[in-house]
Structure 1
């Protein structure tokens, strides 16, 4: 966790002055996590490059060349100037850029960035006038001493003044405070991004919203790090047991957070939502098409378009795709987007609500546990101003009626909570439940899967279906492009169905030299399925599209057909 910064005569909060908001910390974590080599080492150049390309953290330093491409001079040098941000907020355990215990949990989406920052602020120790302080502890104590549960920047400044801690640097010439409020505003911004406060944008205030009283939360601080004479002590011992301390905080904060969410949500009867006015996207839609047409690939862009209330379009470049994925992952980390996959063992208990063993109990007992859909529905219900998205991959692979249960009625557009005909149901647990009109359901369905469950008729009429067609224009190799077009034309003619086609993804970023691998590992197995293992039919379709001067079909009678390149 955080390192000790150099001593100052005012509230320095150095890292936050340079980079405000939780997204900066999240960018460091994700850039580091995705820059590991095969043995787990992290390269500074890769981290810096990812921060530039994927997270645009240093966008003011990027110059556009005459060709329009980004040019970033002095990557390592610029990165090192930002290094203390990650060190002070516990992203790395050392100069080797290994992610800390908590940062790994953020990268793996086990905790949110808000939970991470809450614990990081518990650990943030700053020397001011040779005295160790924790800014979060001072704010909490100030709220208790002044009987406040709502604060603004002036109140926070007053708390530090009460402790004789200047919040502004001293002008060396005049000896007076410069009054730039940089550190104060940065601290206030971080407080907004913790689980302890909710932000009121209208009057720019923070209200304490955590379920435990402030005095109980203050008891969680490790005062060993905050002793008055501990300046040198803290510099040498700050890291000795911090991981254990963080684990203790993490377990406690997450446990409280879960309870807090349960009590905060209440039920739909206590919440009023307004009818939906933005009809850019249907609330329920399914992307369907042949294998390899990019259905799952498209869901990230579609989900972000829904979140932003923008029309859906695929990224035009790899750089745009990376930026979208960075935003998408941030939305997942804060619970605005959920991704799940249906399968034949998937049930109502995993999706809506069910009983699970209570691992905290000393005896064998069970507790009611919300499924993935109910969790995001409750979050969306309590945040009616923003859109939420649940992505259900392979939606037709599950037992639809069993999984959805009463949702078949509740997900209908005019039955959503906030619409004129809003409905709610009582779950088996006795809890009242409704589906808010700001929760969007996006499913994907492989239209070639005839052997598995088809979409229930009652459910089908509640979804809009968007076809994903094979798109040969995305294939750069002209020979492969022509081959795919001929193959699909032949399949439509032979099978009289557009469901049983071959998608373009098998040929993306490939050349004609890769054709034997593509066919033998992907295309030929599909053709055997399409033609119900009819060897003659498969052979006929291959011969109709294959360049016989360059490739040949191998039929050894003891295995499936395969193709090989003819060597000259």
Structure 2
């Protein structure tokens, strides 16, 4: 039995007190607050058995949230007529169903499990076994020119296209050519689901996670780093995928309202007018994540957009009646936010703007948000000081710590966790001496895929011959980690092009490899049929 396929069966009686929820499931694509009669976990597959006169399994769903007494379910697929006929009560009994039809874990019964799995193989087995990459932290390493940059794009595309973990790893390690949808990676870039960064010795925690930076007006402002940005996006996507349609539309409406409000303030400031909040206090500037308050305020204060988004609905609904009801983002002795009077004044201004200037009649109708993958690509990961850059978050990137463990960040005091839909893909050169000093914490938390040169990707015969001779010499006199990658030779179609590559790409690399051994360098250049210019 495959423990990953811990499939639960839940029963729905269309004549019961809930009524028939099937039309709602099919219309919305989800169902909230289903009574929890079994211990299930987020991500677990659930089959919905319709009782009464129907007596069939009709839906494949997935657990998206678990509460004390209920669960939220997302629709994966409504089964075909053929499949539901094969999953009728009579057929289930013929294939091992012994207990009642109400609420049980399918893989407690091997015979029944195998039968149901066979009926819906393409819908569950493939999705669980093939499409889910359980390994989230991957390092591609190899000699220069083996295609690490090309293959991180392939790796992301294969994950998106649902290739199996085994196929993905085999393709990358063996440097095989793979047919992919050309638009996949570009689509991910357009959707801003991938970020790219290069590590170096001066790169820091403040660059990667969060730190204080001067803003456009010269004031110091807390700014998120690239890792926190992409992790927050990924976590927001998970949370949004669990929301119902009304929640999504309300948030979308607020986002449009708030964007228009910021433009209104910008127009006021660009006209050399003051935007008053309270008394002589004014908004003097709009930063990336906050308003800057000046005027009567002795030193600039920031009003964070995240606090405004958190509170505005409560303000409109009458749950925030004065500044004393505005709480801090973290525990404090008073519990009242230090800038609460300014926040309260801003909420009043935003409400006035909404009532007088905002038209939400053009807001588009939104559907359910699907969970997606996000990717952080780190080039030259071994060149950075890993302990310094990741800090306390190095533990949180482990696959079994995702979504569960969280820390309080030192500057913002925010709670932070690494979501399970974020992949960290890194690259490094095996010829780089700093690879030997890789932090042991990094080695333990990443899966290393070694990429080797592949002569099959070289089509020009003379180029392939040179490629093999050079790499045979390099492996004997250095080791296989220094072999030349195939990308130096892949695009060569003539002897003229080969001559250029030998002179301006291969020769400088060999001079670096054999810098302290003139005789070996002469032998290598002799294979190239190029004289040593340093003599």
Q: With a CA cutoff of 8 Å and minimum separation of 6, indicate the structure with the bigger relative contact order.
A: 2
Q: Which has the higher strand share?
A: 2
Structure 1 length-normalised TM: 0.45
Structure 2 length-normalised TM: 0.47
